[in-house]
Amino acid sequence: MSRIIFKKQSIKKLTNRNLKQWLKWTAISCTITLLALTIAAHLPRRTGTQVNACTNSPYSVYLVADAMHVDLVLPVENSAFDWRSVVKLETIGREKRNDYRYLKFGWGDRDFYMNTPSLDKIQLPRLVRTLFAPGNPTAIHINGYQDVPIQAGYQTKCVGLTQTQYLKLVNYVRRSFRGAKIDRIQDGFVDAAGFYEATGFYSIAYTCNDWVAGALNAADVTTPLWPGLAGAVMKQLGDG
């Protein structure tokens, strides 16, 4: 009987020791990962490049960010491209308008995006599924505006592009819609917005801000090595 008790105690000690070792190395791994991501969020993907000012460039793209999410704002038309050839303006939102001058584009997890109207409405189970479940389908959110949106609590920056750069960015956004026919799938949370089917899958490894960084990269604009944070993407754009 004493031998059995001794074995049980030994197993328990070994289990506790293994658990402590696992917790120790997990904590070390998490710390190293967070440190690496923090450094990568502050380092530019391209060195020796400068973000062009809008005042010195023929084409402009705007980026609008809150604490978590970055959107692209593009003119409805300019001499390089007319978005009315892709999206019918009068069908974007509930209000049937065709006089928008700017369109704001965002990409994200379809379920989370279409059921979370604001940061204070985030539900933890939905957020966890969005970040860690595999194969999450996505949506593009379009919002029409008369002017570039300047809102309290949001940061807005302008990036100047050449025509070649601008068309690269436009083609990136266009390819993000699923299929040749652009399908609107739901009203947005304001009268001038709607959701559309998108390509790609959302996860913690590829977020809404990675998508925006991809658009900037396509246009040869510098982005952070790790663009998962909205602030990191905006920081690389300078004063804008």
**How far from 112 is each of 109, 179, 212, 213, CA to CA, in Å?**
5, 22, 18, 20
Q: Is residue 47 included in any domain, yes or no?
A: no
Same domain, 113 and 7: no
pLDDT digits (tens, 9 = 90+) for 224-237: 888 888 999 999 99
Task: Give residue 41's pLDDT.
Answer: 56
- Among 83, 92, 82, 66, smallest CA distance to 208 is for 66
Same domain, 68 and 169: yes
Same domain, 105 and 17: no
Looking at per-residue pLDDT, the higher value among 154 and 37 belongs to 154
Same domain, 35 and 92: no
Q: Which residue has the tokens 């026919």?
A: 181
Q: Which residue has the tokens 């928008």?
A: 100
Q: Is residue 48 included in any domain, yes or no?
A: no
In this prediction, residue 51 has a pLDDT band, given cuts at 50, 70 and 90, of confident
**How far from 83 is each of 41, 78, 185, 206, 223, CA to CA, in Å?**
32, 9, 19, 26, 25
Same domain, 31 and 134: no
Task: Give residue 228's pLDDT.
Answer: 86
Same domain, 176 and 86: yes
Report the number of distinct structural domains present in the chain: 2
Looking at per-residue pLDDT, the higher value among 139 and 6 belongs to 139
Residues of the chain with pLDDT > 70, as a percent, come to 79
- Among 175, 155, 162, 158, smallest CA distance to 220 is for 162
Same domain, 196 and 87: yes
Q: Is residue 160 included in any domain, yes or no?
A: yes
Same domain, 122 and 21: no
Q: Is residue 49 included in any domain, yes or no?
A: no
Same domain, 206 and 99: yes
pLDDT digits (tens, 9 = 90+) for 61-99: 999 999 899 999 999 999 999 999 999 999 999 988 999
Same domain, 4 and 93: no
- Among 204, 225, 223, smallest CA distance to 215 is for 223
Q: Is residue 166 included in any domain, yes or no?
A: yes
Q: Work out the mean pLDDT of the chain and round it to a whole number.
A: 86
Task: Give residue 31's pLDDT.
Answer: 61
In this prediction, residue 238 has a pLDDT band, given cuts at 50, 70 and 90, of confident
Expressed as residue numbers, the domain containing 96 is 54-235
Task: Give residue 53's pLDDT.
Answer: 85
Same domain, 198 and 228: yes
Same domain, 37 and 131: no
